Amino acid sequence: MEHIRCRCKHCYKSYSYCTYGNGPDYGTEEGCSMEYCGECQTAINKALAKIEVKYKPKYKEIMPSLGLDKIMADIKEKVLKERENEAYFKFPTLISYDDEGYDNVETYTHNGKTFRIEWNDKTPDDKHMFIQMEFDIKAKNFTGRHWEAKTNEDTFSEHKSGRAMLERALEKFKESVERAPFPLPSMSPTMGSLFFMDPIFDWDIKIPESRKRIPRHKLRTWKETKSGKLIRSLCMPNNGYVVSFDLAEKEVLKQLNDEVDYTLDVQKYDDEEWRTITKIVAK
């Protein structure tokens, strides 16, 4: 427990903040925070309570196609190797109640996005991949924007589902109750709510400088990074891009996830109008 002397950012009153808890029992003001005194923080909370929470993060299932699953596997291998080299202390199995209904959850961050791979103990080969997206609470649908991760670095963590473990425990408890010689009172299900707010950033989009067209039959090649949704849009008729015959035969456009970024190998002859995509891999 630590008491910190603070000055309110609004009224500039000097007050004490306790890291363990606040109120008369801790010798501090009720409801204060590290930034505001109890009076100002209470007023802020009341004002914000009148504004509805508009969005929340929610996981959406996607296809682990075009190398996306390999990217996650490489991140996991790298992180586990770093833990071995740093004599990483392995904690007991972590428990979480935040899952999509599976027993095991692996969480990754990559390119500022959060991914998950989940599966059940009974079907370890049947794995499902998810990406964290922005969900409109009022409209009850995804907005098409991913929920920004707290880091742009590649990270990996794993945990067991507390929900699944609790369900199994309840099943065993129910079996024991059925064998019990006395009746047990029924209980209403637990209720809970989560208030969550996070700023939404508009990231700068870098547009490459246009190049002067030289009307020669010279082949130029380069790489581009685009989302699956944008790639499909560019490959529509009269939009300037086509896929190579090999990619078309494999119907690669159908394997794209709208929310995932991909690296494209693109080629174009100076005297031709179309750009041809020759390779697509998850970024």
229 lies in the same domain as 251: yes
Predicted local distance difference test score (pLDDT) of residue 83: 82
Predicted local distance difference test score (pLDDT) of residue 172: 75
191 within a domain of the structure (yes/no): no
165 within a domain of the structure (yes/no): yes
139 within a domain of the structure (yes/no): yes
109 lies in the same domain as 167: yes
User: How many domains, in total, are found in the chain?
Assistant: 3
98 lies in the same domain as 174: yes
193 within a domain of the structure (yes/no): no
Residue ranges in the chain whose pLDDT is less than 50: 212-213
89 lies in the same domain as 109: yes
119 within a domain of the structure (yes/no): yes
60 lies in the same domain as 28: no
Predicted local distance difference test score (pLDDT) of residue 182: 60
231 lies in the same domain as 165: no
74 within a domain of the structure (yes/no): yes
Q: What is the pLDDT of residues 61-78, one digit of tens each?
A: 999 999 999 999 999 999
Q: What is the pLDDT of residues 131-143, one digit of tens each?
A: 999 999 999 999 9
What's the pTM value of the predicted model, to 2 decimals?
0.66
Predicted local distance difference test score (pLDDT) of residue 265: 96
183 within a domain of the structure (yes/no): no
DSSP codes joined into one string, the chain: --EEEEE-TTT--EEEEESS--SGGGTS-TT--SSS-HHHHHHHHHHHHTSPP-EEEEEEEE--TTTHHHHHHHHHHHHHHHHHHTT---PSPPEES-SSS-SEEEEEEETTEEEEEEEETTEEEEEEEEEEEEEETTTTEEEEEEPPPS-SS-EEEEEEEHHHHHHHHHHHHHHHHHH-SS-----PPP---------------PPPPP-----S--EEEEEEEEEHHHHHHHTSTTSSEEE-HHHHHTTGGGG--TTSEEEEEEEEETT-S-EEEEEEEE-
250: containing domain: 219-282
